[in-house]
Structure 1
Amino acid sequence: MSGEVLSQNEIDALLSAISTGEMDAEELKKEETTKKVKVYDFKRALRFSKDQIRSLTRIHDNFARLLTTHFSAQLRSYIQISVSSVDQVPYEEFIRSIPNMTLLNLFYVSPLEGRIMLEVNPTIGYAMMDRLMGGIGISHNKTESLTEIETKIISNMFEGALENYREAWQSITDIEPEMADFEVNPQFVQMVSPNETVVVISLNTQIGEVSGVINLCIPHVVLEPIIPKLSVHYWMQSERNEPKQEETKAIEKRIMTAKIPVVAELGQSEMTVEEFLNLEIGDCIALDKPVNAPLTVMVGNKPKFLGQAGRVNRKQAIQILDHDIRGEEDGE
């Protein structure tokens, strides 16, 4: 059967056509049994599974939130960035889809090989620069005549955002993003072969009244060493793994320095409220233990040891004699 899901209107129309005789149910069965040929374009090889694409979407959702906070603080203006789409396309197709003159930030992500491209629509880039220089965030598209100062300001602005990219990938792998180059003409950038599959993450960006798109182009060769880590199964399995040695030592240190109450109990007694109210100075309360019986040492309100009262260096003390059976029976 086909994997396509029909809407309720389509189902109603299909049932109506069968009931009126416009469509024959037997012919439908024959069509289902007939083998259908699906066209496959080898230039658009899908090298990432849906599971891996979902993982990349989650990572860059986090990156978009971090960028929103980063640029909002830096530009002191309303910024909203969100993931609009995640697609895998040939590199040549991506280059054709972006403007002839745009803002291209190329950066390394050591220890992974290759480079990642951060393409910023000029409308967005100039609005950011205008806001950074004290303006109200008006965009002027003059990419062809960028001065050295403008180039440096824009590249520095996005270089400062690379720390957010490192943080977004922390749950998968440790990377060290480093800005490599800045270009305005996509034809001068040849990261991989034209038919190489790349993942394109499009980020909708809103700066005040100005809106545009920021694209992240990640070649397959960059992600190839960590592709197994992009599956949900691997991620959930890694969550169940034992904690790292550093984390274990930190937990042990906190446990060892934690304070718990230790109380030596002389004994217990019960009385009525009337007896309690009639107590006077000099009255004696009889406990439920003989004078020579060992004391119960309570640790965290649980009976743990048996002890004997004494004194050490003019201070009251308890000498531990044995374990309390009641505590062992309770599994303490």
Structure 2
Amino acid sequence: MAGEVLSQNEIDALLSAISTGEMDADELKKEDTAKKVKTYDFKRALRFSKDQIRSLTRIHENFSRLLTTYFSAQLRTYINISVGSVDQVPYEEFIRSIPSLTILNLFEVRPLEGKIMMEVNPTIAYTMMDRVMGGTGMGGSKKDSLTEIETKIISNLCENSLVNYREAWEQVAEINPEMTGFEVNPQFVQMVSPNETVVVISLNAQIGNISGVINLCIPHVVLEPIIPKLSMHYWMQSERIEPKPEETHSLKKQIMDAHVPVVAQLGTSELTIEEFLNLEIGDCITLDQSVTEPLTVKVGERPKFFGQAGRVNRKVAIQILDHDIRGEKIGT
């Protein structure tokens, strides 16, 4: 819980009171060391863990990079967008914190329930609109209401950016963002109850010398079905990706066309170095296998089958009799 921040006048008054003896510094130290009871506000119950907040931050950092590329192309100028903060607050507190005249875009993220709000600071929104209409981006803030053309331009810019939002979430959930509403007065928007916890992701936007904030307000009810996927364990675990049927077929075809050596082994024998060096033409080597025993058929270096020697169309052949018990049974 953050400490209370004093103004410069309060600091000066405190130093003056200590120097004149009105306050005792030792008493202040005792108060600091005394056990304090923290007040817990049940209206601001924290429903997201730090781990889940970090995951949301990571997702929206990716979204901010995608937005930077998208808006730079649309406005034909360099734009820098980055995540400023990620907080969880009651919905009512968020509504009170934004201007009374602003740009509010409401969109659904099927198959998730509920809506998400994208609030674009008027300074940034009007700068974007000025760039789209051929201006220098220094139009400043408008004080009157938007015309139908201006509303259409701004809403189209925001609606087309939702493709990037789907891409930013694709590693966690498959969503289909769709714009459902456009408002300029936050008092006319009631997505959830005032005490409902929402996550507010503030994106800092810089267009030339103009800076502002783009806020994303995500109610807890929207994220509830996928909250388990926002844990670090989910991000770190390696998901098994099922291969596509065409990939499986191609791999199977390559395996079937692969060539492997097949060798029928008549038998083995052991010789000493001296016996080997004294071998001459016409000498016979006795094998450790009888002519009545089946031959061992090797695939590669592994014994796989038992077989017997024979001929087929005047060619030497091997007839497969059974699996070699020393090898792995295949074909099952």
TM-based fold match above 0.5: yes
User: For residue 159 of structure 1, what is the amino acid of its counterpart?
Assistant: E
Residue aligning to 2:181: 181
How far apart, in 1, do the equivalents of 2:260 and 2:322 lie? 15
* Matched residue SS, 1:88: strand
How far apart are the structure 2 equivalents of 1:303 and 1:77? Answer: 69
In 2, the alpha carbon distance for the partners of 1:136 and 1:304 equals 77
Q: Deviations over 1:198-245 (max 9, x none)?
A: 110000111222211100001111112222221112x147x345x35x
Q: Contact 1:264–1:298 (CA<8 Å) still a contact in 2?
A: yes
1:203 to 1:319, Cα distance in 2 relative to 1, 3 A: farther
The 5 Å alignment of 1:64-213 reads: 64-142=64-142, 144-213=144-213
SS of the residue 1:40 aligns to: coil
Aligned to 1:51: 51
Deviations 1:97-136 (A, max 9, x none): 1111011101111121111100001111111122222222
Residues of 1 paired with 2:235 and 2:207: CA distance? Answer: 36
Where does the alignment leave 5 or more consecutive residues of structure 2 unmatched? 4-24, 264-294, 308-317
- Pairwise CA distance, 1:64: 0.9
- How has the CA–CA distance of structure 1 residues 134 and 302 changed in structure 2, closer, same or farther, with 3 Å as cutoff? farther
- Please give the alpha-carbon distance, in whole angstroms, between the structure 2 residues aligned to 1:323 and 1:88: 66
Aligned residue pairs: how many? 284
Letter in 2 for 1:252: T
Aligned partner of residue 243 in structure 2, secondary structure: helix
Cα drift, residue 86 of structure 1: 0.1
Aligned CA distance change for structure 1 residues 175 and 297 (closer, same or farther; 3 Å): same
The separation in 1 between residues aligned to 2:96 and 2:174, in whole angstroms, is 32
Deviation, 1:48, is: 0.9
Task: Confirm or deny: 8 A CA contact 1:139 1:210 kept in the other structure.
Answer: no
* Alignment CA distance shift 1:160-1:305 (3 Å): farther
1:258 alignment partner AA: Q
Q: CA deviation at 1:319?
A: 10
Q: Which of 251, 254, 261 is residue 255 of structure 1 equivalent to?
A: 251
In the TM superposition, residue 327 of structure 1 has moved relative to its aligned partner by 9.4
Deviations 1:265-294 (A, max 9, x none): 9xxxxxxxxxxxxxxxxxxxxxxxxxxxx9
Structure 1 Cα separation of the partners of residues 303 and 153 of structure 2: 68
Structure with greater Cα Rg: 2
Q: Is the 8 A contact 1:79 1:206 kept in 2?
A: yes
1:164 Cα deviation (Å)? Answer: 1.0
TM-score for the superposition, normalised by structure 1: 0.68
Contact residue 87 and residue 200 of structure 1 kept, 8 A: yes
Flag the 1:79–1:323 CA change in 2: closer, same or farther, 3 A: farther
Quote the offset at 1:326 in angstroms: 11
Q: How big is the shift at 1:146?
A: 0.8
Percent identity reads: 68
- Over the aligned positions, Cα root-mean-square deviation in angstroms equals 4.3
- Which letter maps to 1:210? I
Answer yes or no: is the 8 Å Cα contact 1:143–1:184 preserved in 2: no
| Secondary structure in 1 matching 2:59 | helix
Letter matched to residue 195 of structure 1: N
Query: What TM-score, normalized by structure 2, do the two folds share?
Result: 0.68
Match of 1:258, SS state, is helix
Cα gap change, 1:83 to 1:306, in 2 (>3 Å): farther
